[in-house]
Amino acid sequence: MTKRYLSQLVLITLISLIGLSVFGINPYLMVFLMVIAFGIVIYDNDRNYQIKVRQDNLELTNRVRSTSNDAHLKHKQLVTLVSNIPLPLLLIDAEGKIVMYNEQFEIFKESKQSEALTYSQNDFKTGVHEFVFDAYLMESIRQKAIEDNGQHYEAISVPVYSNKVYSGCVILFQDISRIKEREEMQKQFIADASHELKTPIAAIKGMVEILNREDFDDEATRKDFLIQIEKENERLEQIVLGLLELSKLNRDTLVLQRNMIDFTQIADSCANSFKETMKKEHITLVRDYQSHKPVFVDAAKMTIVINNLLSNAIKYSGAGSIITLKSLEAGDCYIFSITDTGKGIAAEELAKIFERFYRIDKDRARFSGGIGIGLSIVKSIIDAHDAKISVKSELNSGTTFVIELYY
């Protein structure tokens, strides 16, 4: 019973008593009026009470509904977030149940079974299985490299705490295959470079040792050794310069300074610098320029390309040969080629000549001063331009290098 309800009843009683004593109203009539007044007050209060209960119920229902809507919304947001992360991801709850994983994670499953998984009972591939097991139990940030089908991943687990209580963990797998590939390439590069440097160093060391002998007094050999030491030294210098050049040509860091330029101008200025050598070797240079359309290239870098291709054409062709420079347009492509009538390259070697330190005939290349870096420098520059280079060749007939640039 509310205070308001009681005070209404007291007020009616008081009014009735005043009515009886002061105004002398008929007691029967007074009692009748009192009963009616009490009835009205009781009915009104009961109705108000029912309305209030109904309102309270409605409010409670709304609150429950909004809380469940909220939870539903949050779950939906979490699912959207997890499925949109482009890396394999897994969530484990406080009891060790695997509550969620995204589509990217499917690659680590051994079978398509969808029964409830836990940190200890899961059908994931071995390395992943072990990591999930440890990650849940250790309750700490963990990191581990995992290999799967030639792909390399860095698995990272992060524990999740709610009010300082451990409530599971999140496990993420980052694809580090490209980084690994680069690491391998770097290792290979260092191994190849060291190998290349070792040969002239060993030759110089051997000759110096002989020259230093107390009993050495052969003047002719001394002169010959000094000439060879000078040559090996030059070779060392060439290798080091080539390596430096190559290290600057990393595709990810190489900055091109491009301009619209007639490619034949670059070719002509390169050919000009070889004029004397070609004259000495009786090499004929033919220019077959069918296009002078400007192309968007880094002229300095393209000069390195043409210089390398021209010097190879001269080096591997010999006296009396013909070198042809040709430019033409084909659709949205500008084509520039260098053809020689030299010794050619065997079909099985064609794919390898762009590799670093690859020389077809190592001894002959040594004699001609080749270190096997030129074409890999050419390839790096062409790649940086998003252009293409290809080679056609026939043994003892000649070789053509073709550069394709796109507008």
- CA 12 from centre of chain: 86
User: What's the CA gap between 287 and 355, in Å, rounded?
Assistant: 29
Asked if 278 is part of the footprint of ligand ADP (rule: CB under 6 A), the reply reads no
Choosing from 235, 301, 326, 343, the residue that interacts with ligand ADP (CB under 6 A) is 343
* Least distance in angstroms from the C-beta of 375 to ligand ADP: 3
Nearer to ligand ADP, 136 or 274 (CB): 274
Residue 105 or 401 having the CB closest to ligand ADP? 401
170 and 157 Cβ atoms separated by less than 8 Å: yes
Nearer to ligand ADP by Cβ, of 301 and 359: the residue is 359
Q: How big, in percent rounded to 5, are the helix, strand and coil portions of the chain?
A: 55, 20, 25
Q: Is the CB of residue 165 less than 8 Å from the CB of residue 138?
A: no
Q: Please report whether residue 359 would count as binding ligand ADP according to CB under 6 A.
A: yes
Q: Min. distance of Cβ 268 from ligand ADP in angstroms?
A: 19
- Pick between residue 295 and residue 313 the one whose CB is nearest to ligand ADP: 313
Sole binder of ligand ADP in the list 353, 381, 389, 405 (CB under 6 A): 353
Binding window for ligand ADP (CB under 6 A); candidates: 176-184, 200-208, 284-292, 340-348: 340-348
Residue among 267, 313, 323, 403 that touches ligand ADP (CB under 6 A): 313
Q: Which helix (H) or strand (E) holds 50?
A: helix 27-84
According to the binding rule CB under 6 A, does residue 358 interact with ligand ADP?
Answer: yes
Bridge partners for 89 per DSSP:
172
- Minimum distance between the CB of residue 246 and ligand ADP, rounded to whole angstroms? 11
CB 240 to ligand ADP: min, Å: 14
Answer yes or no whether residue 372 interacts with ligand ADP by CB under 6 A: yes
Q: How far apart are alpha carbons 49 and 134 in whole angstroms? A: 60
Segment near ligand ADP (CB under 6 A); pick from 22-30, 143-151, 273-281, 368-376: 368-376
Measure the CA–CA gap between 325 and 260, rounded to whole angstroms: 20
Window 59 to 78, contacts with ligand ADP (CB under 6 A): none
Q: Taking the complex as a whole, how short is the minimal distance between the CB of residue 202 and ligand ADP, in angstroms?
A: 20
Q: Pick from 16, 102, 312, 321 the residue near ligand ADP by CB under 6 A.
A: 312
The answer to whether 334 and 326 are in contact (CB under 8 A) is no
Which one of residues 345, 384, 389, 403 is an interface residue with ligand ADP (CB under 6 A)? 345
Residue least distant from ligand ADP (Cβ): 370
Please, what is the minimum distance in Å from the beta carbon of residue 335 to ligand ADP? 18
Q: How far is the CB of 391 from ligand ADP (least distance, A)?
A: 8
**Residue environment code for 193-228, b if the CB has 16+ CB neighbours within 10 A, otherwise e:** beebeeebeebbeebeeeeeeeeeeeeeeeeebeee
Collapse the DSSP code of 335 into the 3-class scheme (helix H, G, I; strand E, B; otherwise coil) and give the result. strand
Stretch that binds ligand ADP, among 155-163, 206-214, 280-288, 359-367 (CB under 6 A): 359-367
In angstroms, give the least distance from the CB of 175 to ligand ADP.
Answer: 33
The residue within the footprint of ligand ADP, chosen from 88, 168, 200, 370 (CB under 6 A), is 370
Q: Are 6 and 41 in contact (CB under 8 A)?
A: no
Chain center to CA of 380: 19
Nearest to 268 by CA among 303, 309, 313: 303
Alpha carbon distances (Å) from 105 to 75, 100, 165, 324, 374 = 19, 10, 27, 56, 44
Residue 297 CB, shortest distance to ligand ADP, in Å, is 20
User: Which sign does the torsion angle of CA 71, 77, 78, 83 carry?
Assistant: positive
**Nearest-angstrom CA–CA distance, 221 and 227:** 10
321 binds ligand ADP (CB under 6 A): no
